[in-house]
Structure 1
Amino acid sequence: MKIHKKKYFFNSFFKPVRIFFLFVSILFAESDLAIDLKQSLISPCCWSGTVYDLDHNPEMEEQINRFISQGKTKQEILEYYIGLYGERILAVPKAEGFNIMVWVTPILVGLIGITFLFFFLRTPNDIPSSVISTPSEVPFDDEIEKELQKMD
């Protein structure tokens, strides 16, 4: 038994379009890697932002593009810069050793805060249902009351 597939116009029309988009994505794959690397590295000229955010370091940007054109991977390029400047060149620290505190501390503080709020909001507020008044010991209270009644 032979199964016949129907040929539709949009299948034959969109095949070249899909090939075109595949070709364009391959062309821009290197630029995506370059952008990713530039966002992953702190600019060593002033240490105040990433290479992507600051345009103070064109030599480093050109060097990254050269590394990419040579076919080096992201990890190889990052290791080169870590060897040159140390781990402070990384925009996001590695989650190893003491650096793990950068990742764990905000989570712990958040959990402690949420726990505190939970227990604080859970405790009932003891609000008395009625106000109990006690007779006051104001001197001349009776006379003041009489005067006020006369004024009404």
Structure 2
Amino acid sequence: MASRIPFALIGPRALPAGATVVFFAVLITVLLLSSVSCVREEDLSLEQRAHQLAGELMCPVCDGQTIDGSSAQISQDMRAKVRERLDAGDTNAEIKDYFVVRYGSEILAAPERSGFNLLAWIVPVVIVIGGFGIALITIKNMRKSATQMPPTSAELASASESEDDLTDYLAQVDRDLGIAPKTKTQSKPNASDEAKS
């Protein structure tokens, strides 16, 4: 059953064997990348934690920069305060709370995962999943339309009738414009005309 999961939305045999390999490669990559962010706070050294926190706190006077990437004096002071609080034994959450109390919630580089800010975390995931769903449905419909039956004899007959109607219409337009279509007798010179010349 587990091997059939990727085909649940688009049916069996819809994806070639190579696509299954790609699917599982992407799945493994996503799982590996998500496990990288699951490092426990206790497993990091104080310097690593300081660097991590500096990347999660915004510079209050710089536009769109964290204190890790800013060279402003206040950013340097904030980095020193982070190291000081880490040396005192504070957790990452306590240090963030310290800066939130002092500067407001805008100091955090990423919004908190609660209340209205939760939308900032959920909406991108929903958009990506929706995009994959739309892509799968589109691929399924494209394959379905490519495998549709050829036209029936009735459809072919109506197509030839419409072609005859078009020929009649074009002949009528030529007559109305005074353009006489060449007939077979006009295109061949007469034997008497050849004798005169």
Please classify the TM superposition score into its range, dividing by the shorter chain length.
0.5 to 0.7
Q: Which residue identity does 2:80 align to in structure 1?
A: E
Q: Which residue identity does 1:55 align to in structure 2?
A: S
Q: What TM-score do the two structures reach when normalised by structure 2? A: 0.52
Pairwise CA distance, 1:119: 2.6
Higher helix share: 2
Pairwise CA distance, 1:146: 6.7
Q: Which residue identity does 2:183 align to in structure 1?
A: E
Q: What TM-score do the two structures reach when normalised by structure 1? A: 0.65
Gaps of 5+ in 2: 1-43, 172-179, 190-197
Give yes or no for the alignment of 1:46 onto 2:46: no
Q: Is the 8 A contact 2:111 2:117 kept in 1?
A: yes
Gaps of 5+ in 1: 1-27
Q: Which residue identity does 1:111 align to in structure 2?
A: I
**Equivalent residue number for residue 95 of structure 2:** 77
**Equivalent residue number for residue 82 of structure 2:** 64
Q: Which residue identity does 1:102 align to in structure 2?
A: A
Pairwise CA distance, 1:48: 1.0
Pairwise CA distance, 1:141: 4.6
Structure 2 Cα separation of the partners of residues 145 and 67 of structure 1: 105
**Equivalent residue number for residue 113 of structure 1:** 131
Structure 2 Cα separation of the partners of residues 33 and 145 of structure 1: 97
**Equivalent residue number for residue 52 of structure 2:** 36
Deviates more, 1:91-100 or 1:131-140: 131-140
Which of the numbers 125, 129, 143 marks the counterpart of 2:183?
A: 143
* SS of structure 1 residue aligned to 2:68: coil
**Equivalent residue number for residue 5 of structure 2:** none
Pairwise CA distance, 1:52: 0.8
Pairwise CA distance, 1:73: 2.2
Distance change >3 Å, CA 29–CA 111, structure 1 → 2: closer
Q: Percent identity?
A: 21
Structure 2 Cα separation of the partners of residues 61 and 101 of structure 1: 30
Pairwise CA distance, 1:47: 4.2
For residues 70-105 of structure 1, what are the alpha-carbon distances to aligned partners after superposition, in whole Å with 9 as ceiling and x for unaligned? Answer: 232222211100111122111122211111111111
Which of the numbers 109, 116, 120 marks the counterpart of 1:102?
A: 120
Q: Which residue identity does 2:114 align to in structure 1?
A: E
For residues 18-59 of structure 1, what are the alpha-carbon distances to aligned partners after superposition, in whole Å with 9 as ceiling and x for unaligned? Answer: xxxxxxxxxx92211110110111111124111112222211
